[in-house]
Amino acid sequence: MNLDDLTRTSGEWLRGTGPESDIVMCSRIRLARNLNDFPFINRASRLERTEIESVVKSSLPHLDDDLRFLDVNNLSKLDCLFLKERQLISGELANADGPRGVAFSPHENVSIMVNEEDHLRIQVMLSGLSLQEVWERINRLDDQLEERMAYAFSSTLGYLTACPTNVGTGIRVGVMLHLPALVQTKQIDKVFRALQKINLAVRGLYGEGTQAFGDFYQISNQQTLGKSEQELIRNISEVVPQIIEYERKARQQLVSEKRQHLHDQVSRAYGVLKTAHTISSEETMHLLSSVRMGINLGLIDDLAIPTVNELFIHTQPAHLQKIQGSPLVVDERNVARASYLRSRLSNGRAPAEE
C-alpha cells in the first residue's frame, strides 16, 4: 500500500454530512479486546506479539469490511504520524516499537489497531451524530472477529483489558464536537465542569493528553464496568444534544450582539488563510475554526464544509511533508502550509455581504 495515495483523499468521517454535522464532526466507538491465549501486551514477548498480529491478519479476509493491513513496525516516524493525523492509529501505537499494525477500510471509517495497549482496538467513525449506526456496524464487526478468535472474557467482569477502566464492555463511546462559540463566549469551562460531574471525559482532537486545537473536543465515557453498551451510548446520546443546543445559542448570541465583530473576524480569518505566505499549524486551526463557523452561519458562501474539514487534517505536519514529498523543518512547513492553503482557496470569493 502506498500511503502517498491517501494525500489525495480524506476519510468518510470528514464528509460533513449526517445529523447535526455543523457542530458534530463525527461519532466514534472503540472496542478494546484481548485474545485469550496470549498475555497482555505489557507482558507479551516479541514472538507472542508477532503471533497475535498473524491471528488478526488471518481473520481479515473473512470480514464484511474490506480492510487493508499495514505493518506499522516497518513504517517511518513520518508515516506513523501521518496515520495518527488521519485518526487511523493512536499516538501510543505510533510511538511504540515491536510487532504492531493497523487494518483499515478504503473510506477510513473502520480501523483495527493491533498490539496497542490491548491486542485489538476496533474503531468505527462516521460523520455527524450517528452513534446508533456506528454501534450497529462495530457490533457486527466485533461478532465476526469473535467467531474466528477467542477473546479474554470473564462471566463476572466481562471483557478483560489491560487498563482496569476498560474492563466490562471495553467500549469507548465518543463524539467530536466543534464548539467555537462556547469558547468565544467563555462558557466552555462551565460545560466541561458539568460533563466531569457525570463522568464524561473531554479530550482534544487526537484523544487523551492532546489540546483542543481548532475548538474541537472529544466527549466520551470514562468507565465501562457495570454498564451495558446501550446504556453508555444512550448516556452520550442524551448529553450531546444539550451541548449542541448550548453551542447554537452561543452562536446566535454572537450574531445578535456582535454581528459586525463576528463578520469581521470571519472575513479576516478567511483572508489570512487565502493570502498568508507563512503560517503555523496552530494559527491555521484557529482560523479554520472561525471560517467553519462562518460558513454555517451564512457569512461565507463560496466554501464547502467538507473542504474545510479536510484542510484541518491536510495542513497537519505529516500531511504537508507527504504532499511535498520531502522532510520539512518547522519554518519550511509554515511556508508550505501557506502555499497549500492559497492553492486550495484560490478560487474563493469574498464572504457574503451583510
- pLDDT higher than 80, residue 212: no
Average pLDDT score over residue span 235-250: 96
Select the more confidently predicted residue: 214 or 110.
110
Of the chain, the percentage scoring pLDDT greater than 70 comes to 95
Q: What's the pLDDT at 354?
A: 41
- pLDDT higher than 70, residue 211: no
Length of the chain in residues, anyone?
354
Average pLDDT score over residue span 321-329: 94
Q: What's the pLDDT at 207?
A: 46
Q: What's the pLDDT at 285?
A: 94
Instruction: Mark residue 270 as left, alpha or beta (left: phi above 0; alpha: psi -120 to 50; beta: remaining).
Output: alpha
User: Which pTM does this prediction carry?
Assistant: 0.91
Confidence tier at 28 by pLDDT (50, 70, 90): very high
Confidence tier at 208 by pLDDT (50, 70, 90): very low
- pLDDT higher than 90, residue 230: yes
Q: What's the pLDDT at 9?
A: 86
- pLDDT higher than 50, residue 210: no
CA 33 to CA 122: how far, in whole Å?
8
State pLDDT tens for residues 75-120.
999 999 999 999 999 999 999 999 999 999 999 999 999 999 999 9
Average pLDDT score over residue span 212-216: 78
DSSP 168: B
Q: What's the pLDDT at 205?
A: 64
* Ranges of H-type helices in 86-163: 91-95, 131-146
- pLDDT higher than 50, residue 348: no
Average pLDDT score over residue span 148-175: 94
- pLDDT higher than 80, residue 213: no
Average pLDDT score over residue span 193-211: 74
Q: What's the pLDDT at 350?
A: 39
CB atoms within 10 A of CB 273: 26
Phi, psi values for residue 233, rounded to 5°: -65, -45
CA distances from 15 to 18, 152, 308 (A): 9, 36, 10
Distance of CA 32 to the CA centre of its chain: 17
Average pLDDT score over residue span 132-147: 97
CATH 3.30.590.10 fits 3-250, yes or no: yes
Q: Domain map of the chain by residue range?
A: 3-250, 258-345
Q: What's the pLDDT at 227?
A: 86
Confidence tier at 4 by pLDDT (50, 70, 90): confident
State pLDDT tens for residues 269-283.
999 999 999 999 999
- pLDDT higher than 60, residue 264: yes
State pLDDT tens for residues 183-192.
999 999 999 9
**Mean pLDDT, the chain, integer:** 92
In terms of Cα–Cα distance, which of 59, 55, 50 is closest to 35?
A: 55
